[in-house]
Structure 1
Amino acid sequence: MTRVWQRLWASLDAVARLIGGLGTALLAMAVLVWIGVVALLGCVGVGVLLVPSALRLLRAGANRERVRLDVLAPGPVPRETRAALRAVLRDVTVRRELAWLPLHATVGFSVGFMGLALPVTMLQNTTYPFWYHLLPPEDNAPSFFFWTVKGPWAVGMAGVLCGALIVAFGPALMRVQEWPGRHLLAPPPGADLSLRIAELTATRAAALDAHAAELRRIERSLHDGTQNRLVTVNVLLGAVRRAVDRDPATAHAALDRAQDAAEQALSELRAVARSILPPVLADRGLAGALAGLAGSCGVPCELVVDVPGRCAASVEATAYFVVAEALSNVTKHSGATTAAVQVARRGDRLMLRIDDDGRGGADENGGSGLAGIRRRIEAYDGRFTLDSPAGGPTTMRVELPCGS
C-alpha cells in the first residue's frame, strides 16, 4: 500500500513539475523568437547592437530553469565592453545555453503540454457521466484525443485511462523534459564545488563582520552606559564615606543618587544581556517572543506563527532579531499605519515575511540596519529578499535553514 501511495505522489509531483516546465518553455520560446529577430536584424547591421540584450535575456531564461531544477546559476552577463562581449560569446556556458534554448522551447513545451492536457482530460472525462445530460445533444459528442467516444461511461473509462497514463509515464515525461536543463545548464565539473566554496567564503566573511559588529555594539553599550553608571556609583560612595560623619543629610542624598545609578546600571546590563540572547526565547519560545515584539510595536501589528516544535536556538535568535529590527524600521522610517509578520516552518526552512503599508523606498545602504540583517541571514546560509518600491508597500522575505 505504501508503494502505491509513493507512486501516486511521484505522479502528482511529476505533473506539477511538467506544468512548471511548461512555463519556462514558454519563456524559452519567447527568448528564442527574440534571438531570431536579432539574428535577422544582424543581416543589416542593426542586430549587433541588440546582441547584449539577447544574451541577457538568454541568461535570465536559463537561470529561471536553473532555479526550477535547483542547479547553480552563473553570474550575470557583463554589459560593459566589446571585449567582454566577445569573451561571453566564446564562453562554454553561453554556448550550452544556446543549445538548451531550442530543445526546451520545442521538446520541453510539447512534453509540458502533455503534462497539462492529461490531468485536465482525466478530470473532464471521469466526471463526464455526472454532467453530460446538461449539455445540448449537438455538443454531446466527447472525444478522447483524436477519437470520438460513445456513451458516458465509456468516456469515464477513457478518463481513468488518462489517469493510468499519468501514473505510468508521468515521471518519465518529467525526466525527458528536464534532461536538457540538467545536462546543458549544469555547471562544468568542478565549478559546482568552486562556486560553493566562493559562496561559503563570502558568507563566512559576512558572519565574521556581523560578529565583530555585534561585539562593538556590546562594547559601546557597556562602555557608554553601564561603565559610566558604575563610575558614578563609585564616586558617590566615596562622597558618602567622607560625609557620613560630618554631614549625614548630604550622605543620605548621595546614597540615594548612588542607588539610582546602580539600578540604572543593572537595568542597562539586563538590556545588554537580553540583546545577546533574549531569555524570552527560552522561556516562551519563538511564538511568545515574537508576540511580545508585535505587542510593543509602534504601529498595529498582526502576527501569524505556524512553527510546530522548536528550532535551533541560534535560528530562533536570528529570526527574533530580524523581526525586531524590521519592526523597529517600520516604526521609525516607514510611516506605516499597519504591519504584519508571518512565520512558518516548511520542511527544513523557517520562512519569515514582514509587510507594512508605509511609503516604501527602503534601501540597504541607507543606514536602516537592512545590510546587517542580510549579513546575519547569509551567515546562516539563508535567503533575504526585499521588495520596497517607492510609495510602498514594503515586503521582506527571509528563509533560514532550521533542520528537518
Structure 2
Amino acid sequence: MATSTSSVKDVAVRTLRAAGSATGQLAGGLGTATLALAILVLLAVAAMTAPIGVGLLIAPAALRAVHALARRERERLTRWGFEIVAPDPAPTQLRAALADPTTRRELHWLVRHATVGFLLGLLGLWLPVFAFRDGTFPLYWRLIPKGASSTSIGIGSAQAWPDAIAVGLLGLGWIAIVLGLSPGMARLQAAPGRSLLAAGPDTDLSLRVAELTATRAGALDAHATELRRIERSLHDGAQNRLVSVTVLLGAARRMTARDPAAADELLERAQSAAEGALAELRTVVRGILPPVLADRGLAGALAGLAADCAVPCQIEADVPERCAASVEATAYFVVAEALTNIAKHSNAEQATVTVRGRGGRLLLLIEDDGRGGAEEGGGTGLGGIRRRVAAHDGTLHLTSPPGGPTTLEVDLPCGI
C-alpha cells in the first residue's frame, strides 16, 4: 500500500514539473513568436514597397533581424533540450539571401513560429489563467457584481453556491487540460525551430568536429593533470606521514621495556602523524568527488562553500532535479575556484552565486562587486575552469571590465 501511494505521488510530481516546464517553454516561445510576428510584418512591408525602392532599403535590416532572432531561438531551445548546431552564417544581401538555403529555412521557420507558435504561446499562458480564475471562483463569487461574467467561457454571474461550485469544477477541468496538453503544446511549438534552424545536411560541420576534437583533447589533458595532482598529494602528504607513523611506532616498540615514558611520547607523536595522514587523505578524497554532494546535493554543497568564503556570499539555487555526478562535481569545483579567486584577487565586498536547472541544462551565474580586470591568463585558474566546462561540452562566458563588476556565466548539460 505504501509503495502504491509513493508511486502515485511520484507520478503527480513528475506531471506537475512537466506542466510547469512546458508553461515556461511556451511563455519563452511566445516572446520570440511576438518578435517573429513583428519581423514578418516588416518583411511584408519591404515586399510591398520594393517596386518603389523603399523595400530594397528595408530588406537587409529585416534579414539581419531574421538571423538574429533565429540565433536567439536556437539558444532558447538549447536551454530547454539538446543543443541545436547553428549553420554557417547567412548573407544579408537580398540577392544572395534569396539563393541561400539557410535563409530560406529561417524564413520558413519565421512564418510558422509567428503564426502557430504565437497561438500556442498565447494558449499556453491563457490556460493557467483560466484554471486559476475558475478554480478559485468559489472563494470570491459573492464579490462579483450581478450581470458580470463569472467564468472564463463567459457564463453569467453565479447566483448561489451550486453555481459557484460548478465554476470551480470547470477550473478543475482547465487544470486537467493544462497538465495533459501543455507538454505536447511545448513540443509542437518547438518542433519548427528544432527542424528548420539546425544545420542542414549541406552544412559544413568541420568546425564543430574540430571543436569537439579539441574539447576531447582538453578533457584528457585535464584528467591527466588531475591524476598528477592526486599522486603528488598522496606522495608528499599522506604517504610521508604514514612513513613517519611507521618509524615512530618501531622506535616506541623498541623503547617500551627500557624507557616507558619516552615510548609513550613517541606513541603520541605517532598518533598525531596518523591523524595528519587521515586529514590529508580526506582532503584528497574531497578533491576527487566531494562527499557533501552525495549527502546534501548541489545546493547544500554550494551553501557550504558560501559559508566558508572569506567574502560574504549569497547562494540562490533552484535545481529541482539532480544532474549527473560528474556535472555536479564540475559545478561545485567551478564555484569553489571562482569564490577562491574572488577572495584572493577581487577586493570584493559581496558575491552572489545563482544556480538554475532548466530543460536539461545547469546554469551558473557567479557575480562580485570587486575591481574587475579578471583574465584567463592571469594565473587565476580560469583556464582550468574553462577546460572542466568544455569537457562536458558546456560554455563559459566571462565579463570583467576594469573597475568591475565581474560576472562568470557557465552553461552545462545535466547529463541525464
TM-score normalised by length of structure 1? 0.64
The answer to whether the aligner puts 1:47 opposite 2:69 as a matched pair is no
Residue 326 (structure 1) shift = 2.1
Q: Distance in 2 between matches of 1:303 and 1:141?
A: 45
Matching residue within 161, 174, 190 for 2:173: 161
The answer to whether the aligner puts 1:394 opposite 2:403 as a matched pair is no
Change (3 A) 1:380 1:344: same
Residue 105 (structure 1) shift = 0.9
Q: Distance in 2 between matches of 1:209 and 1:136?
A: 72
The answer to whether the aligner puts 1:184 opposite 2:192 as a matched pair is no
Q: Distance in 2 between matches of 1:394 and 1:122?
A: 43
> Structure 2: which amino acid aligns with 1:159?
G
Residue aligning to 1:96: 105
**SS of equivalent residue, structure 1 residue 21:** helix
Residue aligning to 1:207: 219
> Structure 2: which amino acid aligns with 1:26?
T
How do residues 4-403 of structure 1 correspond to structure 2 at under 5 angstroms? 5=12, 11-39=19-47, 43-44=53-54, 45-47=56-58, 49-50=60-61, 53-67=64-78, 68=80, 70-75=82-87, 77=89, 89-137=98-146, 140-148=148-156, 150-151=158-159, 152-153=163-164, 154-167=166-179, 169-189=181-201, 197-207=209-219, 210=222, 285=292, 299-301=311-313, 318-319=330-331, 321-341=333-353, 352-364=364-376, 368-388=380-400, 391-400=403-412
Residue 118 (structure 1) shift = 1.8
Deviates more, 1:58-67 or 1:3-12: 3-12
Alignment RMSD (CA, Å): 4.9
Change (3 A) 1:173 1:306: closer
- Long gaps (5+) in structure 1: 227-269
**SS of equivalent residue, structure 1 residue 142:** coil
User: Percent identical across equivalent pairs?
Assistant: 49
Change (3 A) 1:52 1:277: farther
Q: Distance in 2 between matches of 1:129 and 1:74?
A: 51
Q: Distance in 2 between matches of 1:172 and 1:283?
A: 39
For residues 164-184 of structure 1, what are the alpha-carbon distances to aligned partners after superposition, in whole Å with 9 as ceiling and x for unaligned? 443554455444433422332
Residue 114 (structure 1) shift = 1.6
**SS of equivalent residue, structure 1 residue 46:** helix
Residue aligning to 2:249: none
- Long gaps (5+) in structure 2: 237-276
Change (3 A) 1:145 1:198: farther
**SS of equivalent residue, structure 1 residue 121:** helix
> Structure 2: which amino acid aligns with 1:182?
R
Residue 378 (structure 1) shift = 0.3
Residue 363 (structure 1) shift = 4.2
TM-score normalised by length of structure 2? 0.63
Q: Distance in 2 between matches of 1:306 and 1:15?
A: 17
**SS of equivalent residue, structure 1 residue 188:** coil
Residue 382 (structure 1) shift = 3.1
Q: Distance in 2 between matches of 1:38 and 1:90?
A: 18
Change (3 A) 1:87 1:366: farther
Residue 303 (structure 1) shift = 6.5
Q: Distance in 2 between matches of 1:169 and 1:126?
A: 18
Change (3 A) 1:169 1:89: same
Change (3 A) 1:147 1:111: farther
For residues 268-293 of structure 1, what are the alpha-carbon distances to aligned partners after superposition, in whole Å with 9 as ceiling and x for unaligned? xx9xx99x957666786468997897
> Structure 1: which amino acid aligns with 2:28?
G
